[in-house]
Amino acid sequence: QVHLVQSGAVVKKPGASVKVSCKASGYTFPNFGISWVRQAPGQGLEWMGWISAYNGNTKYAQKFQGRVTLTTDTSTSTAYMELRSLRSDDTALYFCARDEIYGGSPPFDYWGQGTLVTVSS
């Protein structure tokens, strides 16, 4: 049974950084990618970036290029999303989702439970 379990809610000050974890279980971690998606209050879904758990290759949305870093630790089947220089409009629910690598599987078929990141002074 596939599960993605994310770290807990955090409150950060403007200008700080946040690192959210996503621990995978129930499947072969290096065979898939992980994407990160956020939803700000009252807003839609926003894709942030993708990482291959096979070789660490990444793709980032232009909006977040230079401010977000995605990494994985295959020894613990965990993916991480670090977002720097936080602003109030980064307040959102952040999700990880299992993603494809080479088109051999559906995208975003399993999701984490979401991590609320609040940016407030």
* Closer Cβ to other proteins, 8 or 75, answer by number: 8
* Closer Cβ to other proteins, 27 or 111, answer by number: 111
To other proteins, the closest distance from the beta carbon of 121 in angstroms equals: 27
State the maximum Cα–Cα separation within the chain, in Å, rounded to a whole number: 44
DSSP H helices in 15-115: none
To other proteins, the closest distance from the beta carbon of 24 in angstroms equals: 14
Under the rule (CB under 8 A), what is the footprint of other proteins?
A: 35, 37, 39, 44-47, 50, 59, 61-62, 95, 97, 99-100, 106-109, 111-114
Query: What is the DSSP track for 28-52?
Result: -GGGSEEEEEEE-TT--EEEEEEEE
To other proteins, the closest distance from the beta carbon of 102 in angstroms equals: 12
Question: In one letter, which amino acid is 118?
Answer: T
Centre a 10 Å sphere on the Cβ of residue 59 and count the other Cβ atoms it contains.
13
